[in-house]
Amino acid sequence: SSLLGFWTASGSNPGRDWNLTWHTENPDFTQCFQNTVLVWIPCIYLWACFPVYFLYLRCHDRGYIQMSNLNKAKTALGLILWIVCWADLFYSFWERSQNIFRAPFFLISPTVLGITMLLATFLIQYERMKGVQSSGVMTIFWLISLLCATVIFRSKIILALNTGAEVDAFRYVTFCTYFILLLVQLILCCFPEQPPLFSETVNDPKPCPEFSASFLSRITFWWITGLMIQGYRRPLEAKDLWSLNKEDTSEEIVPGLARNWAKEWAKTKRQPLNMLYSSKKQQKSSDSNGDVTEEAEALIIKPSQKNYEASLFKVLYKTFGPYFLMSFLFKAAHDLLMFAGPEILKLLINFVNDKHAPDWQGYFYTGLLFVCACLQTLILHQYFHICFVTGMRLKTAIVGVIYRKALVITNSARKTSTVGEIVNLMSVDAQRFMDLATYINMIWSAPLQVILALYLLWQNLGPSVLAGVAVMILLVPINAVMAMKTKTYQKAQMKSKDNRIKLMNEILNGIKVLKLYAWELAFREKVLEIRQKELKVLKKSAYLAAMATFTWVCAPFLVALSTFAVYVKIDKNNVLDAQKAFVSLALFNILRFPLNMLPMVISSIVEASVSLKRLRVFLSHEELDPDSIIRGPTTDGSIIVKNATFSWSRNDPPSLNSINFTVPEGSLIAVVGQVGCGKSSLLSALLGEMDKKEGYVVVKGSVAYVPQQAWVQNATLKDNIIFGREMNESRYKRVIEACALLPDIEILPTGDRTEIGEKGVNLSGGQKQRVSLARAVYCNADVYLFDDPLSAVDAHVGKHIFEKVIGPKGILKNKTRVLVTHAVNYLPQMDTILVMSDGEISEMGSYQELLKQDGAFAEFLRTYANAEQSMENSGKLWHVKGVMTPGLYFPRLKISIFNRQLSNSSTYSRETGKSQHQSSTAELQKPLAEKNSWKLTEADTAKTGRVKATVYWDYMKAIGLFISFLSIFLFMCNHVASLASNYWLSLWTDDPVINGTQQYTNVRLGVYGALGISQGIAVFGYSMAVSIGGIFASRHLHLNLLHNVLRSPMSFFERTPSGNLVNRFSKEIDTIDSTIPPIIKMFMGSTFNVIGACIIILLATPIAAVIIPPLGLVYLFVQRFYVATSRQLKRLESVSRSPVYSHFNETLLGVSVIRAFEEQKRFIKQNDMKVDENQKAYYPSIVANRWLAVRLEYVGNCIVLFAALFAVIARNKLSPGLVGLSVSYSLQITAYLNWLVRMSSELETNIVAVERVKEYAEMEKEAEWSIEQTAPASTWPEEGKVEFRGYGLRYREDLDLVLKNINVTINGGEKIGIVGRTGAGKSSLTLGLFRINEAAEGEIIIDGINIAKIGLHDLRFRVTIIPQDPILFSGSLRMNLDPFDQHSDEDIWRSLELAHLKNFVSALPDKLNHECAEGGENLSVGQRQLVCLARALLRKSKILVLDEATAAVDLETDNLIQSTIKSQFEECTVLTIAHRLNTIMDYTRVLVLDRGEVVECGSPDNLLQEKGIFYSMAKDSGLV
């Protein structure tokens, strides 16, 4: 009743109010409304926000901000506002005392307002104390107050100007003051405060500007603009990025999740205990080894209670829920605002229809439309920001938790999750959660949008809406089926792709052999065959994609058509007017999005739930019990083990039984025994890596551990040794000296600062083992556990290490040492020896005691020692061991190959290396420097700056210009049809209504349908054209790439990492196959959509031509800024992602070492830092996306504003249909603009693939494969005479000659041996003969033809080589012998018989079709060599070159090969590069090379008499 009192007191009735407010040229609110509602709105807002905001501030304390002038001003103004309000109140009281009675609100409103101002002042201070630098709540409050006050202010001015009205002077003055103060407050609120005292930002070199930015800057993402400008001027680098906000760092996020998970996990641990044992079994539960079967029984007895599983979802929700919940509100607000557009459009069309409506209403609607659109933009992007940040935090938390868990899980748990799986958990599954965070709200939002849209449509068109909805619902399963199909095609394509990459890998690894045999063409065919299969599948998925595009583009049209058709046909009196048609179109456009999103969201949720389960399983693995081994002070001895039994996991049988021993302090203990008797397990047990079943173990003090497989980190050598301890120069030097690392450090390129690759690839096995040992020695622990560290090193080094480090006189002589060993010769020096067999200690005692006992040990010793003694003397044992230990042998080989590429000294052995290297160090350094610089540029080409237009042109040419222009033409047709159909609709809606019906309904409907169908045909056409064109392009580009790579010279492969090449064939080709075509489709689509919308707006209101170009410029400007920065941020993000995974991989491999040294904390910290580094690049890229979107949507909103505004201005000339058309198009333009920028930047990122594939087309090529004019006769070479005339050769332009002035004539049928020391140029001679390297001077002439003049294949087919390393390719044996299928089966069998392989091959189940594995792994090395011999026998050419295999072949095979060659190649010329001189002693002549020149030449006997180089070499090999 009091309210009624208000209204009547101000003397107005509701009917007149509307006339005053709405149906008038000059609108105004009634006095009463002004003084009540408008005053109370801000107050209600602030009081509603206050409790929530107050609690929020209490929980989030950011530190204390000092009083500043800004703050003082705000507070003072707040107080003055309060005084002004209450001045009004007291004035009212004063009036009452004067007996002037006013309406009650003159008392109530100032009171409420005054109290609110006090609250505002309190909040200003409270925010300062809690460290809020800029407050959204307050800014909005001042804004609302000001808006309400403006309305009142306007009406007061109108009243004052309206002469004759009495003016209340005092209230006017107070109100003006109030108004001005509000304005000042709002302006002040836009400036942020200083940062709080003691906050992190003070010490931070590059703090993130987000929190010190003002509220306005934060909602429009203005604060990132600085970074954008910087990124536009020059490519960003890692150092330009800001630090993460404190609440996004790992150290803040991960512990929270870990805590919550621990709580949840503890629950599951607590609960099952109640139910595991039923009452009658209760007494059993005291047994330490609760029997497993009994637990099972108990579970069966009491099934009533559900087993409680730890729910990871609950934990994630607890950790991230509160922050994420804010997004609900934003999303809901945005969804409601979305429907404001169509509703306002309805009012606008009505306004245009109603010629009598006052003008201001049109402007009011326009303003409302613009404000709604802007609010929608701001709210939507706040929502996205919250979602993305939550996603980012989720990923950080999950990676952190997985890492921490991986450090504590038991070994049995490690077996169930492989390294790859765990890394997948970190990468794939964490990524899924990130993606889900942005989608998950669609679960409730999509149905909400659909229901709202349907409700509004029903209001508009009645039941005929159902026709449209039916069409939409029908399209959903069609899309689902297509998605399923696409998935199966993708799988098939992946399979082909994997096969192709595998083959490419082999080709690149065996490229030298391919070139020597001239087999490139055969392998090209093989690759293209696989590629053909792949393209077939691609073609199928292209048809599918075309269908999908067709349904997606035509859906809105079909829906509209069906709805309008039903609506018009149901009832003659149903008139389709502008309002109905265009509002419905706008609503259908809204509907389209949620319906398409829902299937995506559901599949995304299903994927995430699978990931959730995998994560939960991993996080629920058993953990090591830290208390099973007591690390503490003991009185008697340094290690005490009392009848302890250990197993590898809880349910395994024990692998160590009743172990008892005590190790006194400072003693040296050996553990010996057969392979697999539990020696290493014993050490693991002492480290606490095994599950202790019973017993008691104490280890005194800290432990250092050297594992059997050395574990090396990807860090510098120095960091590997120091391992997180502080640096002590003298100690470090001593350790390196003792561990025999000095010579190695001298060899390494930058000494001990050399970066060691992943898994220590650039160290040999022995070096790794010594580094691992040095790490243990440096850390200066109390107890040392060595797991056979001497097996991987050479004999003399082993001896040195034992004496200097482990033995009684070594650095560690006062420590407790336990050494597992196989080397018998060190045993006499041990204090105690433990002999193990089958997991038990069978004997223990000193060397002498054990010999006296004459037990198993003595026996073992006798057999072992005798063998070893005899071998030791000949020094052969370590060679045997070397070959057996894979670590030692292969890295050596690698080093030799590496140097082969670097300089002309072909192999490098540590003994002879020094003297030879003096000469070529200059050469070594030159290529080294070059190689590095080259590698860097290789990795970074085509990575910066914009993509050139030529690349697009190249791509169009690859598609084929006809198809390119056809698809552009079809795009045009589609959009013209689409515009025409909508224009036709607008004409239809403007048809006059006669007697309640429109006349040409059928014609209108028919044309509308026809236009729609033509649109559909065009869509299908361009979709097909683009997809098929894309396939043509990828076929063409791949063929070119393959051809160009195979045509490249050998030097290209030597200096290009094969990873780069494989990457081109997998990643880039894949992008061209499956990423670029859809992006082109979307890019073209959005381009034409935007253009179309602009055309329509121009048609309706030509004056818009003034506005569109400037907005276009703004748009382009923003887009260029964004693309430059975003591209670089993406790169930085992906560059910083791999260290996270590689560090993780490394940790998993070395987890026992990390635990033994108790370095977990440091590694966790390192992991956190790496994750944070990655998120540092990811966070700005999220914000950059939001920045862009907000800017673009404002451009779009301006277009909406002007379209509506010009429509209102020109409303007398315009028909409602045109207005509806132009505004409904402008409403869509924001989405299109956003899409367009996304797509153009995607296109730019992906088109780089074309550039990188084309790159190899410009590389240098080797000579032509075959030249028609100079092709030699088919029988050439007939006699096989080879002449070298003044021949010289160099590996690269800037290097010295490797061979100089070689003049030799070799007659047909001669057998020539070529010998010389390492690096003398023997292999270079053969490379020259095959033109792998072209001559630098002189020429080689075979049977009178200069080989430089003919095609490479012509040459290489006629000369045969048996290469040094026998390389086979995966495929059938037949393919390996005769890839071109030139020979019959009999020929092949005959060659196999001569190569002594016939028995072996005929015994195989598939005979000649036997599949060779990659690199021929499933044949022995000797067999592979014989296969190479069979190849040569098949070719049967006049000239045979043997690059004699040293390591590969045992003596027996060697003899076989030699005898075969003697018998089969009787009349051929044979050149043999010999390493074993005994093979060439019966040759006709021997060439001796030294430093690239022929120094001796003659028959072997003559040369031996000359006593020159040849003689000394023969002497070395014991032939003379």
Q: Can you tell me the distance from the alpha carbon of 980 to that of 1011, in angstroms, rounded to the nearest whole number? A: 7
pLDDT band at 944 (very low <50, low <70, confident <90, very high): low
pLDDT in tens, 626-656: 788 887 777 777 888 888 888 887 777 888 8
CB–CB of 414/303 below 8 Å? no
Q: In this predicted structure, what is the pLDDT of residue 1053? A: 79
CB–CB of 691/623 below 8 Å? no
pLDDT in tens, 526-545: 889 989 988 999 888 888 88
Across residues 1324-1346, what is the average pLDDT? 84
Q: Can you tell me the distance from the alpha carbon of 1074 to that of 59, in angstroms, rounded to the nearest whole number? A: 50
Percent of the chain having pLDDT more than 90? 6
| Coil/strand/helix, residue 1187 | helix
pLDDT in tens, 306-337: 456 778 888 888 888 888 888 898 999 999 99
Q: In this predicted structure, what is the pLDDT of residue 334? A: 92
Asked which of 188-202, 239-253, 1400-1414 is least confident by mean pLDDT, the reply is: 188-202
pLDDT in tens, 834-853: 888 888 888 888 888 888 88
pLDDT in tens, 1023-1034: 888 888 988 888
Helices (H), 131-189: 136-161, 169-189
* Residue 822: Cβ-neighbour burial (10 angstroms; 0-12, 13-18, 19+): middle
pLDDT band at 299 (very low <50, low <70, confident <90, very high): very low
Question: Nearest to residue 244, comparing CAs of 209, 219, 217, 197?
Answer: 209
Q: What is the DSSP letter of 644?
A: E
Q: In this predicted structure, what is the pLDDT of residue 20? A: 62
Res. 419: pLDDT tops 80: no
Q: Can you tell me the distance from the alpha carbon of 9 to that of 219, in angstroms, rounded to the nearest whole number? A: 43
Enumerate residues 6+ apart whose C-beta is below 8 A from 1462. none
pLDDT band at 292 (very low <50, low <70, confident <90, very high): very low
Res. 982: pLDDT tops 90: no
Across residues 1303-1318, what is the average pLDDT? 83
Q: In this predicted structure, what is the pLDDT of residue 374? A: 92
Question: Nearest to residue 1038, comparing CAs of 1068, 1080, 1081, 1075?
Answer: 1068
CB–CB of 1100/1225 below 8 Å? no
Across residues 992-1014, what is the average pLDDT? 81
Q: In this predicted structure, what is the pLDDT of residue 382? A: 92
Q: In this predicted structure, what is the pLDDT of residue 941? A: 41
Q: Can you tell me the distance from the alpha carbon of 980 to that of 987, in angstroms, rounded to the nearest whole number? A: 10
Which of 699-708, 910-919, 1270-1279 holds the top average pLDDT?
A: 699-708
pLDDT in tens, 1091-1108: 888 888 888 888 888 888
More confident residue, 285 or 1262: 1262
**Backbone angles phi and psi of 811, in degrees to 5:** -55, -35
pLDDT in tens, 152-208: 888 888 877 776 667 678 888 888 898 999 999 999 888 888 877 766 555 677 888
Across residues 1208-1226, what is the average pLDDT? 84
Measure CA 1334 to chain center.
43
Across residues 728-733, what is the average pLDDT? 88
Across residues 466-470, what is the average pLDDT? 85
pLDDT band at 1167 (very low <50, low <70, confident <90, very high): very high
Res. 972: pLDDT tops 50: yes
Tokens matching residue 715? 């860090």
pLDDT in tens, 741-773: 888 888 777 777 877 776 666 777 778 888 889
More confident residue, 270 or 519: 519
Q: In this predicted structure, what is the pLDDT of residue 759? A: 67
Q: In this predicted structure, what is the pLDDT of residue 1168? A: 93
Res. 97: pLDDT tops 60: yes
Q: In this predicted structure, what is the pLDDT of residue 385? A: 92
Helices (H), 1150-1282: 1151-1156, 1160-1209, 1216-1255
pLDDT band at 921 (very low <50, low <70, confident <90, very high): very low
Q: Can you tell me the distance from the alpha carbon of 762 to that of 747, in angstroms, rounded to the nearest whole number? A: 12
Give the DSSP H or E segment for 112: helix 105-130
Q: In this predicted structure, what is the pLDDT of residue 899? A: 35
| Coil/strand/helix, residue 978 | helix
Enumerate residues 6+ apart whose C-beta is below 8 A from 307. 272
Q: What is the DSSP letter of 1067?
A: I
CB–CB of 1308/1258 below 8 Å? no
Q: Can you tell me the distance from the alpha carbon of 449 to that of 593, in angstroms, rounded to the nearest whole number? A: 9
Q: Can you tell me the distance from the alpha carbon of 1513 to that of 1504, in angstroms, rounded to the nearest whole number? A: 10
Q: In this predicted structure, what is the pLDDT of residue 368? A: 93
More confident residue, 491 or 105: 491
Asked which of 888-897, 1261-1270, 1298-1307 is least confident by mean pLDDT, the reply is: 888-897
Which of 122-126, 1381-1385, 1490-1494 holds the top average pLDDT?
A: 122-126
* Residue 55: Cβ-neighbour burial (10 angstroms; 0-12, 13-18, 19+): exposed
Asked which of 42-51, 289-298, 1293-1302, 1393-1402 is least confident by mean pLDDT, the reply is: 289-298
Q: In this predicted structure, what is the pLDDT of residue 1451? A: 62
Q: In this predicted structure, what is the pLDDT of residue 1330? A: 85
Instruction: Please name the residue that has the structure tokens 């004035």.
Output: 91
Q: At what angle do helices 359-406 and 250-276 cross, to 10 degrees?
A: 60
CB–CB of 213/200 below 8 Å? no
